[in-house]
Amino acid sequence: MIVAHIVSHLNTGGAEKLVAEMSNIMNRKGITIKVITLFKGRGVPFDILETKNIELIELNYDSKYNPMIAMDLYKHTKDCDIVHTHTYYAQLYASLFIAKKKLITTEHSTHNNRRGKLILKFFDYLMYARYSKIICISRATKESLNQWIRKTKRKSLIIHNGVDIEKYFHASPISRKEIGVGEEEIILTCVGRFEKAKNQEIIIKALKEINIKAKLILVGHGQKEEELKLLVENLKLNNRVIFLKQRSDVERILKSSDIFILPSLWEGFGLAAVEALASGLPALLSNVDGLKEVTTNLECDVEYFNPYDLNEIVLKTNQIIEKLQSTKKEKQLEKNNFEKYDLNNMVEKYLVTYSKN
């Protein structure tokens, strides 16, 4: 079997990381894999991808609106049995010329800028009609899509995202000195792209009222990075907020952290939250559907908050810090709690779906 995974780039993001990890495992199972990227961009997902054994085709288009993208995708996938798209422009351009019987897509979010705009609904309807199956990463993702385009309901199914559970269970903590944190300080860690959906600015604002021993580590990068740094400077929090950019050792940073916090305005799944919980961290998560659905059935220490409520974030963060200071931090978890989110189990479900296509 020859499978092509098509994604916008391999720069950053949960979908991009998932493509790299999924491709590696499928390749080890004897499947011929192509990974095709539309636009320029290399980051941690690129580093993860085992390019010695996987064919990587980087189209490197500068414009998102070049019709030649569709022709290139057709040309590079003629020999493929399955063409699996991730992210919008991959979905769109692959749907133009590639045969429907080959096409599968994964829906990675409960929200995008097209939804709610009736003029774009017709084009989404035509695009999704070209796919034989639509895999949704959570119930919330499926419900959101089906509500937007009702005819997707009959061919959409749920396969939860997967995490390399072993890696996060057994990671070695990074030295606190290496990341600029003292031994007696409390590390609040947030992992995610710097963009509107991730809402990091509200944690920065909340930090003014959070226990003075707490330092905030922001792992990631994105278009709002300079805006967030300016906010930190204006609030005079430079000595309490650490920007670590993209990292390939997130599991080690999590193992050294005390609390994970994710204030997303929307999430399809919340991969970073599952990774943090698998690391043994207590987590403070926004009460959006994608996050709550995925984490409430895990036997872990999780609190939820309204991502628009600054006072609630301050209160709950201080409560967790107080709890950590008064009790011994426990990181003993049962692996079987996370089996449904194991990366290998996820890949097996994808392969079953391919075989039935």
Count the residues in the chain.
357
Q: What is the C-alpha to C-alpha distance for residues 1 and 15, in angstroms, rounded to an integer? A: 23
Say what the pLDDT of residue 96 is: 97
Task: Tell me the whole-structure pTM to 2 decimals.
Answer: 0.90
Q: Which residues are CB-contacts of 303 (< 8 A; sequence separation ≥ 6)?
A: 282, 283, 284, 285, 316, 319, 320
The predicted structure's pLDDT at residue 333: 58
Fold identical between 2-162+342-355 and 165-339? Answer: yes
- The predicted structure's pLDDT at residue 328: 54
- For 165-218, how does the pLDDT look when each residue is reduced to its tens digit (9 = 90+)? 999 989 999 999 999 999 999 999 999 999 999 999 999 999 999 999 999 999
Domain ranges of the chain: 2-162+342-355, 165-339
CA distance 23 to 222: 25
> Which pLDDT belongs to residue 300?
84
Share of the chain above pLDDT 90, in %: 83
- Which class would CATH give 165-339? alpha beta
Amino acid at site 331: K
Which pLDDT does position 36 carry in this prediction?
98
221 vs 89: which has the higher pLDDT: 89
Residue 298 has pLDDT above 90, yes or no: no
Q: Among 42-51, 250-259, 266-275, 290-299, whose mean pLDDT is lowest?
A: 290-299
Across 149-172, average pLDDT: 94
Q: How far is CA 44 from the centre of its chain?
A: 12
Mean pLDDT across 264-292: 92
Residues 316 and 206: their CA atoms lie apart, in Å, by 11
* Three-state SS annotation for the chain: CEEEEEECCECCCHHHHHHHHHHHHHHHCCCEEEEEEEECCECHHHHHCCCCCCEEEEEEECCCCCCHHHHHHHHHCCCCCEEEEECHHHHHHHHHHCCHHHEEEEECCCCCCCCCCHHHHHHHHHHHHCCCEEEECCHHHHHHHHHHCHHHHHHEEECCCCECHHHHHCCCCCCCHHHCCCCCCEEEEEECCCCHHHCHHHHHHHHCCCCCCEEEEEECCCCCHHHHHHHHHHCCCCCCEEEEECCCCHHHHHHHCCEEEECCCCCCCCHHHHHHHHCCCCEEEECCHHHHHHHCCCCCCEEEECCCCHHHHHHHHHHHHHHHHHCCCCCCCCHHHHHHHEHHHHHHHHHHHHHCC
> Tens digit of pLDDT for each residue in 213-239?
999 999 998 999 999 999 999 999 999
What average pLDDT does this structure show over 87-102?
Answer: 97
Distance, CA of 17 to CA of 192 (rounded, Å): 12
| pLDDT grade for 330, boundaries at 50, 70 and 90 | low
Q: Domain 2-162+342-355 belongs to what architecture?
A: 3-Layer(aba) Sandwich (3.40)
- Tell me: pLDDT of 331 over 60: no
What would the two tokens of residue 65 be? Answer: 């609106």
* Residues of the chain above pLDDT 70, percent: 97
Look at residue 329 in the predicted model and tell me its pLDDT: 54
